[in-house]
Amino acid sequence: MVSTLMLVAWLFVTTIQEPQDSDGKVGIRPPTSIVGVWKGEHGSMLNFRPDGTARGRSSDDPNNTVHYYKYRLNGDRLSIYYSAKPDEYLRRMRQAALGMTVDKYDLTKLDDSALQLIDSASGTTFVFERTEDSTLVAAP
């Protein structure tokens, strides 16, 4: 019984679909302008990477806990998928079982110094400015 459950769990984890763009590659080739580190009005920090992954943390967190994401930018629509670290198989399996959480935003401003997003569900506006953060840049 246990071996059957382990086999089912393994099959489930190995077939989880990652966010993909139209050519089947994970993530998307984002415009250079969104790539980098951004700090929000309330201390949220995001590091968008060119491979379609992102890292985030709160500047108020004394433990500097880094959170992992995947994102897709299609025109003025930004989707952020919560993700587990690559080596966190149990967490990834739990996320898959519960449904991968995704937040969707309308991109209303993007230039070299500012990023403005509107949460599609709540209508809340989030404003970010470009910054530096060695913790997010160094996170695997």
Which residue's entry shows tokens 């580190």? Answer: 37
Alpha-carbon distance of 111 to 90, in angstroms, equals: 38
Alpha-carbon distance of 56 to 131, in angstroms, equals: 13
pLDDT by residue (tens digit) across 72-127? 999 899 999 887 665 565 665 665 566 556 789 999 999 888 999 999 989 999 99
User: What is the distance of C-alpha 82 from the center of its chain?
Assistant: 5
pLDDT by residue (tens digit) across 36-46? 999 999 999 99
Alpha-carbon distance of 113 to 79, in angstroms, equals: 21
Q: Which helix (H) or strand (E) holds 91?
A: helix 89-98
Domains defined for the chain, CATH in brackets: 28-138 (2.40.128.280)
Percentage, residues of the chain above pLDDT 90: 45
Q: Considering Cα of 77, then 49, then 23, then 9, what sign does the dihedral take?
A: negative
